[in-house]
Amino acid sequence: MIRLAICLSVLAGGLAAQTLEFPSNATLQAEVTSPLDSYVMPMGIWDRGEMPTEVVEGALTQQAWRIRAQQLTTLQLLRPLREQLRNDRYRIIFECQTEACGGFDFRFGTQTLSPPEMQINLGDFRFLAARRIGADGPEYISLFVSRTAQAGFVQVTHVGPVQAEAPPLVTTTAPPLRAAEAETPEDLAQQMNAFGHAVLPDLTFETGSAQLGDQPFPSLQALADYLLEFPERTVALVGHTDSAGDLETNVALSRRRAGSVLERLVSDYGASRRQLEAEGMGYLSPVASNLTAEGREANRRVEVVITSTAE
């Protein structure tokens, strides 16, 4: 569990902006500040082509943070922040999750910092808006939380009264947050049961290739065993690529990679074809920077996602 503490500091005439304490393995990816600016804050879900908003004005700080830990949930990231905001006399005025927010339309109708600094998974994000009133006027904060297979992402937007010496919005003094990779069949099964998805970490793909090697892959054996244990569950194998090439080509390539994994699961590991489907995302959901060889290798991956269960 992330420890996120909010420290109160009373200034003459009002409340100071809080400090959010992130774990020490969080890194600041991007920051925008302005001594006086406006921010269009969502105040409701996207519905029928519209989204309620409020334009708030004041000193603006917007930051994107990446927390280097696998298999985080968006609730793990958001819940401690939400409670600390309440303790700091903020009132939660709007909160939503993924499709309940309005899905794709809400995400692209909301002001966010750009990828790869701020990664937003269209299938798993949460948003929260809060407000408190001090002697110097209203103070607003919004949190946009999402995650990839490798890291959690939190965008913090704060708008409040102008202060001569405002405290930092975020510090990184809490213990690091860690999560184990799925290195054994038990790990994969635990991740699937706990989070509904997992990366198949031992699969490798060269740039532009959908061909798996001939060697055995323990993650595929673990997945086949998992599907045998839960015969009523179905999963999607979702392929991902690095950023080399255009989007259309990469979506097709990532789908072929997922298809290769599907065929190997059926032919070599005895998995049931009816429990499997193959999809591709191309380079739209990276887990690392495409500016390095290591990052591109990490982005060439296949994930498994539970799509249905009879339980």
Distance of CA 106 to the CA centre of its chain: 15
Residue 79 confidence (pLDDT): 83
β-sheet bridge partners, residue 60: 34, 159
Task: Reply yes or no on whether the pLDDT at 181 is more than 60.
Answer: no
**105 & 221 share domain:** no
Residue 71 has pLDDT above 70, yes or no: no
Domain boundary among 153, 174, 195: 174
pLDDT at 5 over 50: no
For residue range 133-145, list pLDDT tens digits in order.
988 889 999 999 9
Domain boundary among 147, 174, 201: 174
pLDDT single digits (tens) 191-217: 888 778 888 888 876 667 788 877 788
Residues 159 and 189 in one domain: no
- Quickly state the pLDDT bin for 100 (edges 50, 70, 90): very high
Residue 160 and residue 106 in one domain = yes
Residue 262 sits in a domain whose CATH number is 3.30.1330.60
pLDDT computed for residue 26 by the predictor:
87
Domain of 49 in residue numbering reads as: 6-174
pLDDT at 310: 65
Residues 166 and 18 in one domain: yes
Residues 224 and 170 in one domain: no
Q: Is the pLDDT of residue 184 over 60?
A: no
* Domain assignment of residue 112, yes or no: yes
pLDDT over 70 at 3, yes or no? no
Note whether residue 285 is domain-resident: yes
Residue 291 lies in a domain: yes
**Residue 150: φ, ψ to 5°:** -105, -15
For residue 179, tell me if it sits in a domain. no
Q: Which residue has the higher pLDDT, 34 or 215?
A: 34
Residue 30 and residue 169 in one domain: yes
**pLDDT in the model for residue 143:** 96
